[in-house]
Structure 1
Amino acid sequence: MLYFAPWKTTVVTLVILIGLLFTLPNFVPESVRLDANGEPKGVFTVLPHKTINLGLDLRGGSHLVFQVDMDEVRQERLENLQDDARSALREDPPILIAGSPAVVEGQVIVRLSRPDDMDRALERLEELNEPITTAAGGQGMTQTLTINQGDDDRTIRLGITEAALDAVRQRTVTQSIEVIRRRVDSTGTTEPNIARQGEDRVLVQVPGESDPQRIIDLVGTTARLTFHMVEEGITINPDGTGRTPPGVMILPSERSSEPYLAVQRRALVTGEQLVNAGQAFDQNGQPAVSFRFNTSGARSFAEATTQNRGRRFAIVLDDTIISAPVIRSAITGGSGIIEGGFTLQSATDLSNMLNAGALPARLTPVEQRTVTASLGADSVARGETAVLIGFGLVIVFMALAYGFFGIVSTLALLANILLLLGALSGLQATLTLPGIAGIVLTIGMAVDANVLIFERVREEYRLGRTVTTAFEAGYSRALSAILDANITTLIAASVLYMLGAGPVRGFAVTLGIGILTSVFTAFVFSRLLISTWLRMARPKSLAM
């Protein structure tokens, strides 16, 4: 049981050395590890150079809560329903309606020209009513629309059911979280915490970001990019109002010389056809945003610019015109640049937002806090103090209780912490205050395994076994108790990780990794040390 083959000794030694290499960067100044561009230098070009990521409570950063504008989502769904109803009634044979369907008080009102068409209209509109699966186990089905006859024999009222709105809300928040994650990740931020909060809110925590306004600008912009042809000859009042023909709308512009422009409502190309966007420079050396469309987008853009030479087209971002250049020649390559008085930072942020995709709804910041770096440094210092005190007390207790073998357990404990820190660095896990609590708990659990082993050795030695056989029996018979205790704790840590979020996950990560390293160091590494001591010292008696 205590015999170690040479290859086993080599494997254990390599594991400890690898843990040391991954832990080392945490104790080396950043100026020694990285160059001015953040790239590894010197020996760290071949050795691990990454350190443990500190969470928001340790490193400092921005804490924000955004609310999804569900009123906007509902209004958009009603406007889509308005267009769908108009299209359905115009199908051959068409059903005549008086005017156009209108959105009034959360419903779409359709007024027929002839009462005799009521049954046909209801039947045709019912085709828009697609059933959806309810949230309760996926067993029941419910309708998306309510379709009722109005107060007279020519009016139809269409509405969206609560079940359909709830499904839209769930989908919208989920999509918003994914888009936010892509946007924040594109800034280079490590391990942001982005999670749902309540029914229609999203929590965003960005460690290391001291300017919450930049995150608000990055996250709060819907980033819906569309390209429209400009309609000349439309009289626009100073307040942005004016009479427009069907299919034309007036949008605000960022250009002070033209605060408003009239554009065609139908978009030539949308941001959904965008393949890539990036920060670039225009002919005057000013920051700009480059873009490239996919095949269908490039084809549509080429056709539009070919047919409209000499006319202007508007580049619209979130219902605001950011540029309105003149089409000098056909743009057939499917790429171009957007000029709009950008700075380097704003051009980079806009390209990141376009690459991440448009938000399905507008987000409004309802809470923002900045965790200062001084608070993080104080938390780190207190955490280090707690670990050192706990470690010191454990060493003193083990030395008093087991003498020389207490020193062996201390070496195993040092190896345990080394492997734990190395694993956190290698996996780029985020360390939070609860994570530090997990490390302290791991220290106690690692010593607990040694206590079980040494107490079992004492019992075996008192029963008359030799020193060697006592250790063999002690390690062998304590293994089941050690595995039972650690496996049950590992299951609890796994559940915390799967069901928890943020700091709870940080605690689960350090606890889970600590359990694995504890079993390795307490049972394998300490057994190697004891085996080496027995082989070299050949003791005749046991003083424990």
Structure 2
Amino acid sequence: MVVLVICVGALYALPNLYGENPAVQITGMHGASVDISILDTVKTIFKKNKLSFNAITLENDTILVRFSDTDNQIAGRDALSASLDDSLILALKLAPTIPTWLNMIGAHPMRLGLDLRGGVHFLMEVDMAAVIKKLLIQQKETFNTELRDAKLHHRGIRVSSDNNVEMLFRNEIDMDAAEHELGKLYPNIVFITDSSRFTILGSFTEVRLQEIRDYAVNQNIIILRNRVNELGVSEPLVQRQGESRIVVELPGIQDAARAKKILGATATLEFHEVDGSADLAAAAIGHVPPDSEIKKARDGHHVVVKKRIILSGSSITDASSSFDEYNRPQVNISLDSEGGSKMAAFSKNNVGKLIATIFSEYKDSGKRNENGKVMLSKHEEVINEAAIQTALGRNFRITGINSQEEAQNLALLLRAGTLIAPISIVEERIIGPSMGQQNIDMGIKACLCGLFAVMIFMLIYYRKFGFFANCALITNIVLIIGIMSMISGATMTLPGIAGIVLTVGMAVDANVLIFERIREELAEGQNCQQAIHQGYANSCRTIVDASITTLITAIILFSVGTGAVKGFAVTLSIGILTSMFTTIIGTRALVNLVYGGKSINKLSI
């Protein structure tokens, strides 16, 4: 059993001895097929630009081009980006050079964390106030509709600054009737009446507020993952941290500025009807019809649009950039069934009227509130006004975009989805690949120094039994690496290396307990075989108890920790289990192999 476990662990640890090549990975958008024709195109591009590469392969709808160094990798990526269609995703990555036979049995090297591979770390915060305000505005419109349908008259409805919807009535009868009607329809909203002012205040319950916060964070995580996938980053990490924050780690990414721009953007499109009856001169000085609002176009002129949104970015299922018949950049839009029905119904009844495409995004204002949080400001502009020539369906296009790069970025954002709430980057760290390699080298050096120091001590102090302990230590490290490589979700970090070093010391502690107990048994006059048996039997319970308490601590660390703390907890947990195996079972097997079934008078301990 011991030999089998060691062989399996060593087999799956083996891929970590092979190096990695800088590579460019080419995949299709939304899982589209990448075939032999694209492979031939890629080869032609490299030949035309006189770029060298080590190997190029097509497997599982993915083209992988390997290079000898990062300079050729970046030059190759730039050449492909300039020549290939934007429906293909280009990703920079480090491709393992493990043999095919190891791939066939599912053996892969360990995933390396950001601190070892290099890359970008973002800590983002969701603007919960904006989420709640947006929902309150929607709720205000819903209340207005419900009261109108119930034929209950009011003097006005507005959203107050303290997250309430305030409804004003003319008399107490209408107020009580409205409270009764709305109370039946909205159990998740608390209604408070003020008879002196004939006012109803509606606010979300605490349970509903928590649901809103959880939904906003979880949906933003999903959308951020989609955006990361569009960036083509391999082995990303996107996870929640605390009440309203999200951690995004992109190992190996080299274009940090574009990643920040794409991930942090909250851009979306809204389609509004242009108010053709409005007086632009009057609107410019503030006289705007109550159901309309004024927006600014990119060229500086003003546009009066209806407040009612015909369609928002949440209905967009796909978007791609291209050029129109005049070679100007455009974005092609595809809608879901509901959005297509809305657009078809509106355009059918409004042929000849103008529809405005409004681009909106939240940007860092450079200011912070009293709690130190980044304050975001909303920027809106009309990027396109077009007359409806005929009834539109689920597919149409928008123009008026300044550059092809802007069209590509806008298409990417719309494909990946509109963020449920604005987010701001509150922390940003960039770790270069050279720094990551330095961390690996220093971590390995620390591990080896500690291992050799312990091994020399054990050999000198415990002689042959020290040799048994040293074999167990080496096996323990091999098993940890093998198990970390087998677990697909496990990531090795710098604190993870510290966890391995710690388990080396813990494994030695267990061996010391056993060997000292054997010495005590020999001092009390037991024969060698009895001393060995009693030493292992009496020490095992202590070792197991100590290991379990440490394991409980590691599990708690994994449960409540994030990022590097989880990496430490994972390696520590695995190390505890493997050290128990190698210390209690592994060294006993070696002792039995050497001394078992023999009549001996002296132990080398």
TM-score (norm 1): 0.77
CA contact (8 A) 1:60 1:210 kept: no
CA contact (8 A) 2:334 2:396 kept: yes
CA contact (8 A) 1:175 1:359 kept: no
Closer, same or farther in 2 for the Cα pair 1:283/1:416, shift >3 Å?
A: farther
SS at 2:152 equivalent? coil
Aligned to 1:384: 444
Q: How does 1:501-512 map to 2 (within 5 A)?
A: 501-512=562-573
Closer, same or farther in 2 for the Cα pair 1:414/1:76, shift >3 Å?
A: same
Aligned to 2:88: none
Aligned to 1:485: 546
Q: How does 1:60-71 map to 2 (within 5 A)?
A: 60-71=118-129
1:360 and 2:420 correspond: yes
How many Å separate the matches in 2 of 1:47 and 1:369? 35
Match 2:177 to one of 115, 120, 141: 120
How many angstroms does 1:422 deviate by? 2.8
1:130 and 2:191 correspond: no
CA contact (8 A) 2:291 2:307 kept: yes
Q: Deviations over 1:400-459 (max 9, x none)?
A: 122233223222212221222233333353333332221111111122233333334445
How many angstroms does 1:23 deviate by? 2.9
1:277 and 2:352 correspond: no
Aligned to 1:455: 516
Closer, same or farther in 2 for the Cα pair 1:177/1:293, shift >3 Å?
A: closer
How many Å separate the matches in 1 of 2:584 and 2:204? 61
Q: How does 1:422-461 map to 2 (within 5 A)?
A: 422-426=482-486, 427-459=488-520
How many angstroms does 1:500 deviate by? 1.9
Match 2:147 to one of 89, 92, 107: 89
Point out the more displaced range, 8-17 or 512-521. 8-17
Match 2:339 to one of 275, 294, 297: 297
How many angstroms does 1:113 deviate by? 5.3
Closer, same or farther in 2 for the Cα pair 1:373/1:70, shift >3 Å?
A: same
1:192 and 2:233 correspond: no
SS at 1:144 equivalent? strand
The one-letter code matched in structure 1 to 2:142 is D
How many Å separate the matches in 1 of 2:291 and 2:344? 22
Aligned to 1:394: 454
Aligned to 2:14: 21
Closer, same or farther in 2 for the Cα pair 1:452/1:149, shift >3 Å?
A: same
Closer, same or farther in 2 for the Cα pair 1:19/1:410, shift >3 Å?
A: farther
Aligned to 1:12: 5
The one-letter code matched in structure 1 to 2:217 is T
1:178 and 2:239 correspond: no
Aligned to 2:102: 47
CA contact (8 A) 1:282 1:339 kept: no
Aligned to 1:135: none
How many Å separate the matches in 1 of 2:382 and 2:482? 51
Point out the more displaced range, 403-412 or 264-273. 264-273
How many Å separate the matches in 1 of 2:382 and 2:101? 50
How many Å separate the matches in 2 of 1:65 and 1:43? 34
Aligned to 1:138: none
Aligned residues: 514
SS at 1:47 equivalent? helix
CA contact (8 A) 1:173 1:201 kept: no
Higher strand share: 2
How many angstroms does 1:172 deviate by? 5.9
Q: How does 1:202-351 map to 2 (within 5 A)?
A: 202=246, 204-209=248-253, 213-232=257-276, 234-236=278-280, 243-245=287-289, 247-253=291-297, 255-256=298-299, 260-274=302-316, 276-277=317-318, 279-283=320-324, 291-309=333-351, 311-318=353-360, 320-332=381-393, 334-336=394-396, 341=401, 350=410
How many Å separate the matches in 2 of 1:471 and 1:217? 65
Closer, same or farther in 2 for the Cα pair 1:352/1:472, shift >3 Å?
A: farther
CA contact (8 A) 1:235 1:242 kept: no
CA contact (8 A) 2:221 2:246 kept: no
How many Å separate the matches in 2 of 1:513 and 1:21? 18
Closer, same or farther in 2 for the Cα pair 1:466/1:165, shift >3 Å?
A: closer
The one-letter code matched in structure 1 to 2:157 is P
Aligned to 2:367: none
How many Å separate the matches in 2 of 1:380 and 1:121? 67
Closer, same or farther in 2 for the Cα pair 1:511/1:160, shift >3 Å?
A: same
Point out the more displaced range, 448-457 or 276-285. 276-285
TM-score (norm 2): 0.70
1:72 and 2:137 correspond: no
Higher relative contact order (CA 8 A, sep 6+): 1
SS at 1:146 equivalent? strand
How many Å separate the matches in 2 of 1:237 and 1:532? 98
The one-letter code matched in structure 2 to 1:16 is G
How many Å separate the matches in 1 of 2:236 and 2:302? 42
1:523 and 2:581 correspond: no
How many Å separate the matches in 2 of 1:328 and 1:250? 24
Closer, same or farther in 2 for the Cα pair 1:195/1:259, shift >3 Å?
A: farther
Closer, same or farther in 2 for the Cα pair 1:303/1:534, shift >3 Å?
A: farther
How many Å separate the matches in 1 of 2:546 and 2:11? 27
Gaps in structure 1 of 5+ consecutive residues: 1-7, 132-142
How many Å separate the matches in 2 of 1:171 and 1:224? 22
How many angstroms does 1:304 deviate by? 3.9
How many Å separate the matches in 1 of 2:6 and 2:124? 50
Q: CA RMSD in A?
A: 4.2
How many Å separate the matches in 1 of 2:500 and 2:554? 13
1:101 and 2:143 correspond: no
How many angstroms does 1:165 deviate by? 8.5
Aligned to 1:137: none
How many Å separate the matches in 2 of 1:28 and 1:377? 12
CA contact (8 A) 2:294 2:302 kept: yes
SS at 2:193 equivalent? strand
